[in-house]
Copies of this chain bind each other. A is one copy, B any other.
Amino acid sequence: MSITDQKFDIDRESKTPLWLQIRNELYNCLYRDELRPGQLIPNEKTLVQLFDVSIGTIRKAVGVLEKEGFLIRKQGLGTFVFQHDKSSFLFEYFHFALNGSNEKQSPNVEFISFDTKKATKSEANEFGISAGSPVFQIYNKLGLNKKFYIIDKIVIPQSKFPGLTEEIFKGRGNTVYNLYQNKFNIFITNCSEKLKAISADEKISKLLNIPLNDPILKVDRVGQTYNNETIELRTSYVHTSDIDYIQSQNSTFGEAI
């Protein structure tokens, strides 16, 4: 169903502000995939008619979704649905930079392996599937400046990625999140990460060509989609002798001025 075809009923008696009701309706359109990544959404005038509110209320609703990262407004052009690509990946999800630098640069990625295995208990628990269900486990090597510093292990449930093969994965030609989005209709909306320092085990030391027991930064990332459904478990093993995990933070989460 197209967004312009449906009848939204906004409750003017509700305690929830109109702008928030509209924001939620639009969010649901994203969730229901009636507004697809990269797509141009109806202009403000149309939205005014669709929801029968003033343009200021529409702008507030759309503005919030823009700040949340779901929509992107372009003056003179229109408002578009956000889509994952290399630059957004670099900006939002890749947290590493060479020693002494604060500038991120795009990592080079090299494929290592693609396997099917049974989900561990904790993986199954995270995904909300039964233990032993099949999952894909994929290893990649990431580097900067021709050297590799990071091993990425990706675990995703087979059920959510029907038909995914090693060839499709290798031939994606873009970021992994872009693959999820374009080939499997899964849009990663939020991530959380947990970091630990550990010792390199045999596997990691071989893959990264570093001494056994070297200190390694281990990053566990949970990638989720709408309604906090977990889609991907990613573990990065980072040899931080030459690169840093960086995080910048304003007093809050303010917009850049």
Total copies of the chain:
2
Q: Chain A contact residues (Cβ within 8 angstroms of B): what range? A: 35 or more
Contact of A130 with B by CB under 8 A: no
Bound-state CA distance A240–B199 (Å) is 12
Verify A64–B215 contact, CB threshold 8 A: no
Contact of A252 with B by CB under 8 A: yes
Verify B215–A257 contact, CB threshold 8 A: no
Q: Which B residues are CB-close (under 8 A) to A181? A: none
Contact of A67 with B by CB under 8 A: yes
Interface-side segment among A108-116, A150-158, A167-175, A188-196: A188-196
Contact of A23 with B by CB under 8 A: yes
Contacts of A193-221 to chain B: CB distance below 8 A: 193-199, 215-218
Contacts of A211-248 to chain B: CB distance below 8 A: 215-218, 238, 240, 244-248
Verify A69–B196 contact, CB threshold 8 A: no
Verify A194–B245 contact, CB threshold 8 A: yes
Bound-state CA distance A60–B11 (Å) is 26
**A246's contact among B64, B188, B194, B255, by CB below 8 Å, is which?**
B194
Verify B194–A244 contact, CB threshold 8 A: yes
Verify B196–A251 contact, CB threshold 8 A: no
Additional A-B contact list (8), CB under 8 Å, known A64-B254, A193-B247, A194-B246: A67-B252, A69-B252, A69-B253, A192-B248, A195-B217, A195-B244, A196-B217, A197-B218
A-to-B contact residues, CB < 8 Å:
20, 23, 64, 67-70, 82, 92, 102, 188-199, 215-218, 238, 240, 244-255, 257
